Amino acid sequence: MNFNLSDSLIQKIELDLPYQFYVKRDDLLHPLISGNKWRKLKHNLMAAKADDRSILVTKGGNYSNHIYATAAAGKVFNFETIGFIRGEKVDNATLRFAAEQGMHLIFCSRSDFRNINSDTIQMYLKDVDFSKIYFLPEGGTNESALQGTSEIIDEVARQLPNLDWSQTVFAAAVGTGGTFAGMINGAAGRGNLLGIAVLKGNFLEKEVALLCDNTLNNWKINNDYHWGGYAKWTPELIAFIREVEAAYQVPLEPVYTAKLFYGLFELMQKRLIKEGSTIIAVHTGGLQGRIGFTEQHGVQF
Ligand SMILES: *Cc1c(COP(=O)(O)O)cnc(C)c1O
């Protein structure tokens, strides 16, 4: 089975600012298994197949992009999928999609959710064959995930062979930090990397440092654009999403990519990134979340 998808588009955006700005359109990697969640799954699926594990077990929240992508990947690459979902049973577009792909959804209490292990799995799934299970953590971050996201950097290097690395900044939204840590490893000391934290609390720097190669220090996390915390938003952020889409045909969603782009645009406007730099913003996908966001908040994009 071939787990390689075509390289994602690199899109140049002309701005009236003293920067070269590119978007790495990982949102276009696959119609259903999008963005960084595909990158993070790829080597895990290869490992699962190689080890003859046919059941992917994972966990996530109600609107999880990781649940969505795992369900879709299971369907496409022929795995059974089981998703533990935190909290009371709910019905929304993300979970309906996952169920349609064949994912077996199990709603569980917050305390069970926190420590899903072979005992809890057994409790919920009496006759599952444990030897066939491949477990993926929440958000999909593990060693194999980092290997997948590290590949973004060399892919861009092939697409932009004349890149001046000393003037280049790779940027991405940071949730668990897995995607960004993989990118740091992939850059292997070349260029600079800027992570925009989408969670509040200034702890992501530590998380990323634990995940990435600790001999590398050409990266930093900006904590100024989380908008109050995970999935927090204001009408201004929604207006920004509409503006970017109208001006550059790049669709964004409010949890991750809008915060990345808003941060980058403001940092460029304030010249807080070195003038003349080439900025490569990684669009990590997640656009499925817009449907749930509309369902939940009545906001149209
Ligand atoms: C999950 C996700 C992220 C965060 O990735 P981490 O590896 O957890 O830091 C960023 N963008 C989108 C669209 C995501 O779905």
| Average pLDDT value for the chain | 96
Backbone torsion region of residue 29, taken as left when φ is above 0, otherwise alpha when ψ lies between -120 and 50, otherwise beta: alpha
Which amino acid is it at 230? Y
Regarding the beta carbon of 65 and ligand 1, being less than 6 Å apart is answered yes
Regarding the beta carbon of 277 and ligand 1, being less than 6 Å apart is answered no
pTM of the model: 0.97
| pLDDT tens digit sequence for 243-294 | 999 999 999 999 999 999 999 999 999 999 999 999 999 999 999 999 999 9
Cα–Cα nearest to 183, from 296, 281, 116? 281
* Integer Cα distance of 242 and 229 in angstroms: 21
Q: What is the mean pLDDT of residues 70-87?
A: 97
Q: Which atom of ligand 1 is nearest to the CA of 40?
A: 7
Which three-class secondary structure state does DSSP give residue 25? strand
Report the separation in Å between the CA atom of 30 and the middle of ligand 1, taken as the mean of its atom positions.
16
Question: How far is CA 193 from its chain centroid?
Answer: 16
Report the separation in Å between the CA atom of 89 and the middle of ligand 1, taken as the mean of its atom positions.
24
Regarding the beta carbon of 37 and ligand 1, being less than 6 Å apart is answered yes
Report the separation in Å between the CA atom of 284 and the middle of ligand 1, taken as the mean of its atom positions.
6
The closest residue, in CA terms, to atom 14 on ligand 1 is: 286
Per-residue confidence band for 119, with pLDDT thresholds at 50, 70 and 90: confident
| pLDDT tens digit sequence for 161-194 | 999 999 999 999 999 999 999 999 999 999 999 9
Regarding the beta carbon of 139 and ligand 1, being less than 6 Å apart is answered yes
Q: Which atom of ligand 1 is nearest to the CA of 175?
A: 9
Other beta carbons within 10 angstroms of residue 248's beta carbon come to 17
The closest residue, in CA terms, to atom 5 on ligand 1 is: 175
Question: 122 versus 100: which is more confidently predicted?
Answer: 100
Per-residue confidence band for 229, with pLDDT thresholds at 50, 70 and 90: very high
